[in-house]
Amino acid sequence: MSDLLQTPLHDLHLKLGARMVPFAGYAMPVQYPAGILAEHRQCRSAAALFDVSHMGQVDLVGADAAAALETLVPADIVDLATGRQRYALFTNDAGGILDDLMVTRAEDRLLLVVNAACKDADLRHLVTHLGHRCAVVPRPERALLALQGPQAAAALARLNPGVAELVFMTGGAFELAGAACFVTRSGYTGEDGFEISVPAEQATSLAEALLAQPGVAPAGLGARDTLRLEAGLCLYGHDIDASTSPIEAGLSWAIQKIRRPGGARAGGYPGASVIDSHLAGAAPSRRVGLVGLERAPVREGAALLDAGGHRIGKVTSGTLAPSVDKPIAMGYVPAHLAAPGTELRAEVRGRQLPMRVVTMPFQPHRYHRG
């Protein structure tokens, strides 16, 4: 653990009794004394505060930044209005996913949040391909907090009432507990909530101010994983990677019409021809949601079998879901076996456990859309 990087909230995690684990090169809290189950329920019923400072924050600055970024992602960035946020994907020449990221347009720049394990590679990717068109500015001096749950808005509004005006996938600059922050109404739990970029030296005081609010408690990586899985959201390196296309991953919604064949700015990003063919129906596999028909959990890596016992795919994420109270999983199967209602089996310790393909999310999203 001594060789790991630490977030600005490291001492606070220890003070709160967190169990720390290695994650993406950082020492991160997997849970606090209340435990993963309690933290999961805290987020679903009230508000949970997560430290996500290990993720990468990068600014793109310059008049050409949006058009430049479109050469690396299939999303519509040029038409993104000030204060709006969009989910995007870095793709490779084979149509695979190098990383998924959030992009927000501020007054004078694009704000990117990328995954911790990918941030060094993403930064090289951005500098190599866009550095001649816009300034690529990493922001390691900023921390990132996620306040999630049905009471998150009320808690944050006590520090600045203006945040209540944000709706899902919008953002803006706000002062919180004396710190100049950039706040987006977004997150990765399926609940209403916020992600807060804050100067690193003020992160602890802001976190303590939030934890002092009624209904707010800390939560770690364990609950974050069960929450995002119930919400049907992909974890990079598990449910999506450089070998899965956005279409196979069920992320075609992240490719706006203007970037598709026939659109005014179609293509022009790595792997566009492969992804276009997948949009047209050529995707060989699909990410599906699975519910176990028995109580035994099915974990990542378990083989998926068809009715004849033939291996046809594998589980990429799985857990016994606290809110759903069933074993749930995501995995990839051939496109012809991806329809909801299809019955498959998962191989776990020599047993074949029955599972059914279902529509995701497993737990309904409760985003605040206004």
Cis amide leading into 361 (omega within 30)? yes
Residue 23 confidence (pLDDT): 96
Residue 178, SS3 per DSSP? coil
Closest CA to 123 of 140, 139, 136: 136
Residue 56, SS3 per DSSP? strand
> b or e along 136-161 (b: 16 or more beta carbons within 10 Å of the residue's beta carbon)?
bebbeebbbbbbbbbbbbebbeebee
- List the beta strands (DSSP E) in the chain: 5-6, 19-23, 26-31, 47-51, 56-61, 85-91, 97-105, 110-114, 135-138, 142-148, 171-176, 179-184, 193-199, 216-218, 285-292, 303-305, 311-321, 326-334, 343-348, 351-358
Name all domains of the chain by residue range, CATH numbers in brackets: 5-34+141-230 (3.30.1360.120), 284-360 (2.40.30.110)
Residue 232 confidence (pLDDT): 98
Under 8 Å CB-to-CB from 310, ≥6 apart: which residues?
A: none
Does the model's pTM come out above 0.95?
yes
Cα 366 to the chain's mean position, in Å?
16
Cα–Cα distance, 184 to 196 (Å, whole number): 7
Cα 177 to the chain's mean position, in Å?
26
> b or e along 2-13 (b: 16 or more beta carbons within 10 Å of the residue's beta carbon)?
eeeeebbbbebb
Residue 2 confidence (pLDDT): 77
Residue type at 196 in one-letter notation: I
Closest CA to 69 of 101, 93, 94: 101
Cα 74 to the chain's mean position, in Å?
17
pLDDT in tens, the chain (370 residues): 779 999 999 999 999 999 999 999 999 999 999 999 999 999 999 999 999 999 999 999 999 999 999 999 999 999 999 999 999 999 999 999 999 999 999 999 999 999 999 999 999 999 999 999 999 999 999 999 999 999 999 999 999 999 999 999 999 999 999 999 999 999 999 999 999 999 999 999 999 999 999 999 999 999 999 999 999 999 999 999 999 999 999 999 999 999 999 999 999 999 999 999 999 999 999 999 999 999 999 999 999 999 999 999 999 999 999 999 999 999 999 999 999 999 999 999 999 999 999 999 999 999 999 8
Instruction: Phi first, then psi: give them for residue 129, nearest 5 degrees.
Output: -95, -25
Cα–Cα distance, 361 to 321 (Å, whole number): 12
Closest CA to 141 of 53, 67, 236, 207: 53
